[in-house]
């Protein structure tokens, strides 16, 4: 499905379907009101009324807002898959262009890699008609890039763990680097041992797939800012010897969503040609069971040199991130911002629900600015506050720190505080941790998200990076 921006004109093609977004107020003066009344159409949000005799499709809007337009467009994207038309046309303006594109691309997304006979949509092109293509051209191109980067992220997350393991994720990163002219460096296990990444190596020890640390960099000339992005890349998480229940292991291919998000973000940034330097770091590891698996009661030595008491091998993502965060801070000197993305805790879903990304860090201003960017991008975020009392719950009697809290409460925050232990003092106010455990994957469609990966983090982080001056 190709989307094209054109100057406003009537498309005299019997195989074209015209979409009309309409509010209840506009419905009272609609040209075909009598026919719409007969169909029982009230213009309620996301309701559809096709009028095939006129090649029209009406979709209800509660009111004109980005969220309403985006979900309406997503509803349309799903509905038209069964239609016989060849093209779809929609009138757009400066305010509706972005949410319509996002709704169509993200709401119409399908992951058909493993389908032997996927259904093919008859509509091949969507025309967005406007008064002035030149005025909206830049916004159109930008929105397409970000939406497609989000779908790129979804594709990686949705790929089965036997096909997307640390080695294939590293190959994908290399291809992205070649295609987008990025720098790329992959550390294998020999290099990880040389770097003394004891935590990463322990987590991946029982897997037949070698762990990797991936570093991709976008370095434009005269960059205004330098950003480090760190992603948790657990290509599959069985829980290790602290084995997950069988039902909880289903969907654990999504435990690499943080890594996929940072790859999607750097893809978008490089294609938008933003004048900021961005480094993406990924700890690609598989947490499996076996005779060589790391164990509860083990004491690991992190790259930083801190010792970590393991009390639960299913709290593995923070161990991987501990080493990657330390490595990233050594490689990116004096970053302006340092952000990590991870499907880290089920506790974040307990606190915020499955739709919202948890945001943690020391800087109130930075958390506020990210919240504004997320709101503008159409993603949901909420802050979870650090405090010294919860930090005490990570105390170990035999090591420098324990990998889980000694109490069952505040699990998302204590996981964030564990990561905070590996943030250098000079970077404390520049760092934020994003827990996307709930928002990165869904089995029930919502907003522009269909079954599977959502691409959480790509849109709001790109929005934030675009705003940097």
Catalytic residues: 244, 318
Stated as kind and residue range, the H or E segment containing 228 is: strand 226-237
449 secondary structure, DSSP code: B
Residues 6+ apart with CB under 8 A from 186: 170, 173, 174, 212, 213, 214, 215
Contact 7, 129 (CB under 8 A): yes
Listed in sequence order, the residues at least 6 apart from 217 whose beta carbon sits closer than 8 Å to its beta carbon are 182, 183, 184, 277, 278, 279, 280
Nearest alpha carbon to residue 376 among 274, 463, 266, 467 = 463
Tell me how far the alpha carbon of residue 320 is from its chain's centroid.
Answer: 19
What's the CA gap between 124 and 35, in Å, rounded? 29
The size of the chain, in residues, is 469
Residue 171 CB contacts under 8 Å (≥ 6 apart), including other chains: none
Q: How big is the chain by its Cα radius of gyration, in Å?
A: 24
* CA 251 – CA 253 distance, rounded (Å): 5
């Amino acid at each position: 499905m190709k989307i094209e921006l054109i100057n406003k004109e009537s498309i005299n093609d019997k195989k074209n379907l015209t979409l009309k977004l309409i509010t209840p107020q506009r419905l009272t003066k609609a040209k075909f009101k009598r026919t719409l009344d007969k169909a029982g159409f009230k213009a309620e949000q996301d309701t559809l009324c096709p009028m095939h005799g006129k090649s029209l499709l009406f979709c209800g809007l509660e009111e004109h807002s980005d969220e309403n337009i985006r979900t309406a467009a997503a509803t349309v994207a799903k509905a038209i898959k069964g239609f016989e038309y060849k093209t779809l046309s929609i009138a757009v303006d400066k305010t509706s262009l972005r949410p319509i594109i996002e709704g169509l691309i993200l709401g119409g997304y399908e992951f058909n890699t493993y389908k032997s006979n996927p259904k093919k949509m008859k509509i091949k092109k969507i025309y967005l008609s406007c008064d002035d293509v030149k005025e909206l051209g830049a916004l159109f191109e930008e929105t397409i890039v970000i939406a497609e980067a989000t779908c790129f992220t979804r594709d990686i997350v949705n790929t089965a763990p036997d096909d997307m393991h640390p080695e294939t994720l590293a190959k994908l990163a290399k291809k992205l680097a070649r295609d987008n002219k990025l720098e790329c460096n992959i550390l294998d296990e020999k290099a990880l041992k040389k770097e003394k990444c004891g935590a990463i190596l322990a987590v991946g020890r029982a897997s037949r797939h070698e762990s990797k640390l991936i570093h991709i960099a976008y370095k434009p000339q005269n960059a205004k800012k330098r950003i480090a992005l760190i992603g948790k890349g657990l290509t599959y998480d069985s829980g290790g010897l602290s084995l997950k229940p069988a039902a909880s292991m289903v969907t654990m291919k999504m435990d690499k969503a943080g890594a996929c998000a940072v790859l999607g973000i750097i893809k978008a940034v490089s294609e938008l040609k933003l004048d900021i330097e961005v480094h993406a770091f990924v700890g690609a590891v598989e947490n499996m069971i076996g005779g060589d698996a790391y164990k509860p009661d083990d004491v690991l030595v992190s790259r930083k040199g801190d010792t970590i008491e393991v009390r639960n091998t299913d709290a593995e993502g923070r161990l991987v991130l501990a080493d990657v965060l330390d490595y990233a801070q050594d490689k990116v000197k004096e970053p302006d911002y340092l952000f990590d993305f991870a499907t880290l805790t089920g506790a974040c879903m307990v606190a915020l629900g499955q739709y919202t990304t948890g945001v943690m860090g020391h800087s109130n201003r930075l958390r506020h600015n990210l919240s504004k960017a997320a709101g503008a991008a159409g993603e949901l975020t909420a802050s979870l506050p650090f405090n010294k009392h919860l930090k005490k719950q990570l105390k170990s009697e035999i090591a420098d720190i324990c990998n889980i809290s000694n109490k069952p409460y505040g699990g998302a925050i204590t996981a964030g505080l564990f990561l905070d232990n590996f943030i250098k003092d000079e970077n404390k106010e520049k760092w934020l941790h994003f827990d996307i455990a709930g928002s990165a994957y869904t089995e029930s469609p919502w907003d522009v998200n269909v079954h599977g990966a959502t691409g959480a983090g790509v849109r709001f982080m790109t929005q934030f990076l675009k705003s940097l001056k």
